[in-house]
Amino acid sequence: MTTGGRSVWQAQLVPRLLALWLGMQLVIGYGVAPLLFARLGNPGLAGALAGELFRIVMLTGVPVLLGAWWVMRDVPRWKRHLLLATSVAVAAQVVALQPAMAHLKSLGPDYRDGFLIAHGASQLLYAGISLMVLTVLFAPRRRR
């Protein structure tokens, strides 16, 4: 059985996978990472653990977002464009910002300002990714 060229399982599964990935991103970014820094007492260890969790979230996001873009063909065009933009933002996190932050951190305290700038950009992008996926999932089908 198909719906708009997709099987019913795709129509139901893809938005759920997207919501599951978003939930994972929100929990790690806004729950687990702050908790690590608050409770571990070792900022270096907390940052290393948080960085690894962020890397996992972003790496799992690439196939989920591109898969959603590929399968969700019956959604408005602007939502598909937003999914593609989100995929690019996630790829930028994985390919550029996360490695840059790791490199700047490894250079020591002399590069703290550079690390903080990259970290701020990463935080803004992370929030933007969250908002874009929320919009894809919960915005009405029609623009008004």
- Write out the chain's pLDDT in tens, 144 residues: 455 555 666 667 888 999 999 999 999 999 999 999 999 999 999 999 999 999 999 999 999 999 999 988 888 999 999 999 999 999 999 999 999 999 999 999 999 999 999 999 999 999 999 999 999 999 887 655
SS3 73: coil
Rounded to 5 degrees, φ, ψ at 108 are: 100, -175
Contact 33/54 with Cβ under 8 angstroms? yes
Please state, in angstroms and rounded to a whole number, the distance separating the CA atoms of residues 55 and 36.
16
Please state, in angstroms and rounded to a whole number, the distance separating the CA atoms of residues 136 and 69.
10
Q: Which residues contact 54 (CB under 8 A, 6 or more apart)?
A: 28, 29, 33, 93, 98, 126
